[in-house]
Amino acid sequence: MGIAKRAFETTGVVDAHSDLRGAPMRPATCDVRPATCDVRPATLRPAYLGVLLLLLAMLACSFPIPTLPPELPGSETVAPASPRVQVVVATPTPLPDSLVAEATAEDLLLVNLYARVNPGVVNIDVAAGAGDEASVFGSGSGFLIDTGGHIVTNNHVVEGADTIWVTFSDGSLREAEVLGTDPFSDLAVLKVEDLPPGAVPLELGDSDSLQVGQRVIAIGNPFGLQGTMTVGVISALGRVLPTVTTATGGSFSNPEIIQTDAAINPGNSGGPLLDSAGRVVGVNTAIRTTTGGNMGVGFAVPVNTVKRIVPHLISEGTYHYPYLGITADNRFTLAQLAHELDLPVTHGVLVSAVEPGGPADRAGIRGGTRTARVLGTTVQVGGDIIIAIDGHPIQDFNDLIAYLVRETEVGQVVTVTIVRDGKEMDVSVRLGERPR
């Protein structure tokens, strides 16, 4: 749990203001009356003394008495006492010890995770040409999966490269070779010899157990800044990314993609997305952006796809995808089409066309027979609606692709449940291999 920071308003210095005006000084008043004397020779001296005292009193009444003596040159001036100032200091509200301990434990978890995992994350530089003619044109990330020197990264990181250099966290540099690539999943496997002593393979987790809101950590080399760690959460599961358009015009998508708000930028591609235990749950592969940098929408290939495909890339250099041989309009859900076209079901895949001579065509599955306008767009309608494969309900086209990739293989016979003219029926189809 993160600790919410409390904002404090700091009170400035409060000046003590005093009104130091003194009471007005008034001259002493004297009521002077003429003295009447009965002058006698025996009392003459006391009379003179009385007159003298009377003159001094009159002088005192005529001139105000100064309150401060004049400052003499070279004399020390004593400053008047300063007003008393009250200083108010704002202090943070103390947090319970349990919350502080929890925050410290979370910090230590991330620090420990980085220390354990970063030695298995690498920076990848790719170049056109070889030797003195090599010219670097891109970089990305990757991670070690075993002690045999196999490194997983994205296909688009190494695509078109003639020379590949791998830099480990300790600065060790190795040249790598490409063992296999798969543009459909955007995965590739590299091989390096003579691993540096500190390099450690990363543990692969289970992407099927992930939940939205779960914390994830990305480590990679954005903009060439090696060993950068960012933290976020899983924002969504089951996203789909377009990947490949074949020579025959067919386009295929990459299903079951993880969406995260952990900062992913150019250079993070191919690096690991980790759970809080430091296990790989995905391979960072793409971002959605209007600026060229992170905007909080990143995507990762799930690790269970990695575990299924990478062994084939190591042994064969490629992966063979099962193929049904149908085309569907993925712009609308079947629920939208059902509302506009009065279809009998609201989930499944409306078949727009079948590949001539392909698996679906040989099994008798039918494509569209006419066009219709739906929400201002022309769509092919009248074809079969696929609602299940081997008893597994199919929600939409992405769900169909995900099931075929995850659960079937080339040459396998599957039972496809369709709705045709309002009636449900089962069709057996032997899957082919996806064209490249």
Name the residues annotated as catalytic.
Answer: 156, 186, 269
Reference 413, options 426, 400, 430, 427; nearest CA is 430
**Token duo for residue 247:** 């020579």
Q: What are phi and psi of 124, to 5 degrees?
A: -120, 125
8 A C-beta contact, residue 416 and residue 386: yes
Three-class SS state of 238: strand
Name the DSSP letter for residue 64.
P
Q: How many CA atoms lie within 13 A of 95 on its CB side?
A: 12
Most distant CA pair in the chain: distance in Å?
164
Q: What are phi and psi of 232, to 5 degrees?
A: -160, -155
CA distances from 306 to 173, 204, 220, 232, 340 (A): 25, 9, 18, 22, 40
With vertex at residue 373, the alpha carbon angle to CA 382 and CA 343, rounded to the nearest 5 degrees, is: 40
Measured in degrees and rounded to the nearest 5, phi and psi for residue 114 equal: -60, -45
**Is residue 320 a contact partner of residue 353, using CB atoms and an 8 Å limit?**
no
β-sheet bridge partners, residue 182: 187
Partner residues linked to 283 by β-bridges: 272, 301
DSSP structure string for 183-205: TTTTEEEEE-SS--TT--PPPB-
Amino acid at 344: P
Contact 268, 222 (CB under 8 A): yes
